[in-house]
Homo-oligomer: A and B are copies of this chain.
């Protein structure tokens, strides 16, 4: 799940009910800017109490020392997974982040392609090398877009089943629910589709059921 609506952030009982539907919660820069680190920490605390993943989606993309400094605080705010951009490169960049993450017990998910059209302009030219970076750094997972399922398939084919794949792009961004799972992702990231509906908890249940059913169907049919 991506972001949190204000009406939920204010009520930990509602928030708990919403978060229980999902495998994890992903919080990003807009939320941090709007509501600050203490509210981020409070949401992670509720997420921790229902036992789901807490993913920091600040799209880290800086020199190593700066990313490592951010990571120290990210860990203190209760996150256990952190998303960073592959394009910053390894030397003096991702190697420093991954080292610090290992010391702190935080997992890294590396963006290897993005869900918008512009990802083709620069990002996607480097997919093969980004997957090699992910493998050589031994990160926990990848972020790859549901809007271009061939990227997910290629990532899975190259890296096998030891890496988790998180996939944004379903729902409001246009890809069908379940499509990323069918292409080989482990998790689909939903945000606006659920959170901007009048009944987020009801819609969340429907979406999760749909994704689960389609995932089951396509995996059965492909055997």
Contacts and interface: CB of A to CB of B under 8 A. Distances in A.
A120 B93 CA distance: 11
Nearest to A192: B65
A60 B173 CA distance: 19
Nearest to A111: B61
A150 interface: no
A126 B126 CA distance: 11
Interface in A89-115: 89-95, 114-115
A119 B58 CA distance: 20
A91 B117 contact: yes
A114 B91 contact: no
A73 B74 CA distance: 20
Given A36-B37, A62-B59, A114-B63, A90 B121 contact: yes
A88 B66 contact: no
A115 B93 CA distance: 10
Contacts of A122: 86-89, 126, 129
Interface in A105-148: 114-123, 126, 129
A24 interface: no
Nearest to A116: B92
Given A114-B63, A116-B64, A123 B33 contact: no
A119 B94 CA distance: 11
A144 to B, nearest CB: 14
A88 B33 contact: no
